[in-house]
Structure 1
């Protein structure tokens, strides 16, 4: 459900100077002014901007005008705002939250990649991210390892071993010079104060100082560092994630509205099989919101089946028939179809809240069918033919069913047409309930009686066939 406030969250690499965070904040503010100018004269969109800075993170709260006085949706405003912000190359994460009850940092799509090798993980993640970036509807593709800081990797030259040096010894001397070596602890105000010895700050400020750095050999000589070792820079991993003992990484991305299902379908059909062949030791699975949705739909499917079987058992006991419960439950698919039609008309996607409304609609439909079938059975017990019973019951139940459906639909229309944020939260359930009930009204009055007549005809034909078989058998065994 769209909120009337946007939350922009930006995280820069650990160790970034605060001045860089201030630059990004200014970039966000300027984008806000440009967005206000974009909507000026056409729509009242942005009401105010609040930016909060920390060491390497930025959070901006963009207050929007009430939906009743602006035409643009929150997601539309977010798209313009994102375009105006432009690129932030050094950002570890960048997200704009537009929905109620959802973390602004929670992506639309996330995948968990696992393998036993760090090198394989890096290559597989890069391939996967490249595919996601190729979709026009996908943006802000990130991973938990692709924004790591740069680290120096040191490898010894052959002459270093001849001088009795090891990589551990060279690394120790580098640490002493640039990080420092603890030489003493002094008690002060009830705490220990560490005394560290290292190079002066001006000699530790840049990497170029390595050209003057010297390594002390075991025999006391000092040799230039770069004559003993080679230095290269590469992305360093700041954290190692593991899932079930295997190294893992999380890939996240944001998707434009209504583009998620198309992207997932294309990934499963056209990309992931070949990606798996290319990286046989790498495994993937949905995570985050997608994993929660999969779990929900799997659980709701199982629970719905249990509910239908339970209702069937109760109705079978009550009517002492297997056919009548099937007849009563036959309208359930039409309630689901009505909910889908309503969501299409209002441009909404099915959500967990939609299923609340579908469940309520199914309850109303089953109640209407149950009362109608029970009324038909009562009339039939009076000695009337099944067709006469159905016609009489249909006439009697027509007005209650139609009035119930129409009053339910009309009573829920104010919520369906209300543009406020509070109403948007309930809209999926309301749409499912109202359209499900309306579509099932003619099903109850037309389809259920027709199915009952068909069932009675089949039953009558079966009885006639049984009687004919009995007569034929009796004739064959009767002596002449």
Structure 2
């Protein structure tokens, strides 16, 4: 009993070492189960014997009540099955031990091969439906509040259409309890965001939802009712609990902005061809139109650099600080720049004179050119490189997350040679999965060592614990078969359940 409880405790210890955002949630499972097992061990050693001391033997007779008679009947039937079928089967299996071992080992290899080959679906974290569906609208930076508000109201109107469509016939109330919308909410720094809008609706709990329609179906119909919003930069929907990151999140890094943008566009086009992927977006937040200065090759022969060109243009139009004057408590800056009449149009910029290091003045158009581009409202850098993230959602109910990621990784490897200055990596849920499994593997190794040591003590043998522990892979195979029969994907919760199972099967 003691070693049986200790091996079960050892199986739950790896849950304490899982990294990632969800690691703390899994740790709480172990922090509840381990003390409960320890208290049960104390109870069996100190409390249970005192209870058994006062127990009287149960005498079965014809006067037993109906419950005792039912228990006796079930027990008799079970004993007949054991003696008539189970014992002969076990005896034959032991007699044909090599055949039995071959069948079990072959089955184990087949099931594990199906898992490794992606034929059995895997999802890192299952999608748990929420009772709150959300839609976030993002328009280009600079979009007027009135336009964003009009589209936000359109999304809210679609939600209210759903509210009127699904009515509980028993009480006359809709399964959608309320619809909320807000436009232009401030960010964490308190800056207003007139280009953003949010709409959400609250749904009745499943036990009170008549008709009982899945939330994902409501969200799908919501998308269809909204239709296409012209000029939208991003429109995503969420109706799940515990969203820890996008299932597909690719981070691109480079100092070559053009290659970065082209690579991102190429990835998005490839992703849209995959059936189980939707909501493909990037976090490039385009800003207002701006002028980009490009230096011509002939300017380099005159000793000019792009930095020289930028400084002179800035001093001409923004100004060069030449003096500061103290006036009472205020300090005034004296700026030297072109008069207002010579800095109000692009023609003034194109006709300005640029001074070379030798003091020669040349027309701006001879040494530089202007390019009108869309600027960035936010510039993200990682290790001094510009960074983009391309995100996408996966239909976890139908698609195999690992298989889809392998497909995405495959075409990334194919197209990356065309963009030699861009580096890519998987972040988001993929990164969390890698962190969780790397720490979990270390915890599994620790668990197996502890279980071996705990079994070696009562057996007083170095070999017999390995024989007992050989049942662990077959327990895992049984768990995988259960998922296959129920049509469920493997998840991180399944892996943790198999770990806990390892501590139980060695006791049997």
Same fold (TM over 0.5): yes
**1:85 offset after TM fit, Å?**
2.8
- Using structure 2 for the length normalisation, give the TM-score: 0.57
Q: Is the deviation greater in 126-135 or in 177-186?
A: 177-186
Contact persistence 1:211–1:225 (CA under 8 A)? no
Residue 260 (structure 2) pairs with residue 121 (structure 1) = yes
Query: Distance between the aligned counterparts of 1:34 and 1:96, measured in 2?
Result: 17
Task: Provide Cα deviations, 1:149-201, integer angstroms capped at 9, x if missing partner.
Answer: 5432245799999xxx998798678768987899999999988799999999x
Q: Is the deviation greater in 21-30 or in 227-236?
A: 227-236
Contact persistence 2:352–2:364 (CA under 8 A)? no
SS of alignment partner, residue 506 of structure 2? helix
Aligned with residue 246 of structure 2, among 87, 107, 110: 107
What residue in structure 2 maps to residue 26 of structure 1? 153
Q: What are the equivalent positions in structure 2 for 1:158-173 lying under 5 Å apart?
A: none
What residue in structure 2 maps to residue 310 of structure 1? 450
> Are the structure 2 counterparts of residues 318 and 77 from structure 1 closer, same or farther at C-alpha, using a change threshold of 3 Å?
same
What count of residue pairs does the alignment treat as equivalent? 357
- Using structure 1 for the length normalisation, give the TM-score: 0.59
Question: 5+ unaligned residues in a row in structure 1: which ranges?
Answer: 370-480
Residue 207 (structure 2) pairs with residue 68 (structure 1) = yes
Residue 95 (structure 2) pairs with residue 95 (structure 1) = no
Q: What are the equivalent positions in structure 2 for 1:414-433 lying under 5 Å apart?
A: none
What residue in structure 1 maps to residue 136 of structure 2? 9
Task: Provide Cα deviations, 1:222-245, integer angstroms capped at 9, x if missing partner.
Answer: x999999754322334414224x5
Query: Distance between the aligned counterparts of 2:440 and 2:316, measured in 1?
Result: 62
Query: Distance between the aligned counterparts of 2:427 and 2:237, measured in 1?
Result: 20
Aligned with residue 286 of structure 1, among 426, 431, 453: 426
> Are the structure 2 counterparts of residues 173 and 298 from structure 1 closer, same or farther at C-alpha, using a change threshold of 3 Å?
closer
Query: Distance between the aligned counterparts of 2:274 and 2:450, measured in 1?
Result: 45
**1:309 offset after TM fit, Å?**
2.6
Q: What are the equivalent positions in structure 2 for 1:151-300 lying under 5 Å apart?
A: 151-155=290-294, 210=346, 217=353, 230-237=369-376, 238-243=378-383, 245-258=384-397, 259=399, 260-268=401-409, 270-300=410-440
> Are the structure 2 counterparts of residues 275 and 146 from structure 1 closer, same or farther at C-alpha, using a change threshold of 3 Å?
farther
Query: Distance between the aligned counterparts of 1:31 and 1:177, measured in 2?
Result: 52
**Higher-RCO chain (CA-CA 8 Å, sequence separation at least 6):** 2
Q: What are the equivalent positions in structure 2 for 1:33-72 lying under 5 Å apart?
A: 33-37=160-164, 39=166, 44-45=175-176, 47-54=178-185, 55-56=192-193, 57-70=196-209, 71-72=212-213
Residue 271 (structure 2) pairs with residue 132 (structure 1) = yes
Query: Distance between the aligned counterparts of 1:230 and 1:295, measured in 2?
Result: 48
What residue in structure 2 maps to residue 444 of structure 1? none
Contact persistence 1:45–1:72 (CA under 8 A)? no
**1:60 offset after TM fit, Å?**
2.5
Query: Distance between the aligned counterparts of 2:495 and 2:312, measured in 1?
Result: 65
Query: Distance between the aligned counterparts of 1:321 and 1:349, measured in 2?
Result: 39
What residue in structure 2 maps to residue 405 of structure 1? none
- Determine which structure has the larger helix proportion and give its number: 1
Residue 476 (structure 2) pairs with residue 336 (structure 1) = yes
Residue 464 (structure 2) pairs with residue 324 (structure 1) = yes
Query: Distance between the aligned counterparts of 1:265 and 1:353, measured in 2?
Result: 22
Contact persistence 2:353–2:363 (CA under 8 A)? no
Query: Distance between the aligned counterparts of 2:396 and 2:339, measured in 1?
Result: 55
SS of alignment partner, residue 134 of structure 1? coil
Query: Distance between the aligned counterparts of 1:267 and 1:158, measured in 2?
Result: 40
Query: Distance between the aligned counterparts of 1:281 and 1:172, measured in 2?
Result: 28
**1:217 offset after TM fit, Å?**
4.9
Contact persistence 2:248–2:405 (CA under 8 A)? no
> Are the structure 2 counterparts of residues 45 and 187 from structure 1 closer, same or farther at C-alpha, using a change threshold of 3 Å?
farther
Query: Distance between the aligned counterparts of 1:365 and 1:167, measured in 2?
Result: 71
Task: Provide Cα deviations, 1:414-473, integer angstroms capped at 9, x if missing partner.
Answer: xxxxxxxxxxxxxxxxxxxxxxxxxxxxxxxxxxxxxxxxxxxxxxxxxxxxxxxxxxxx
Q: Is the deviation greater in 66-75 or in 173-182?
A: 173-182
> Are the structure 2 counterparts of residues 188 and 143 from structure 1 closer, same or farther at C-alpha, using a change threshold of 3 Å?
farther
Contact persistence 1:213–1:224 (CA under 8 A)? no
**1:338 offset after TM fit, Å?**
4.0
Query: Distance between the aligned counterparts of 1:116 and 1:227, measured in 2?
Result: 27
Contact persistence 1:114–1:283 (CA under 8 A)? yes
Q: Is the deviation greater in 176-185 or in 147-156?
A: 176-185
Q: Is the deviation greater in 23-32 or in 225-234?
A: 225-234
Contact persistence 1:47–1:65 (CA under 8 A)? no
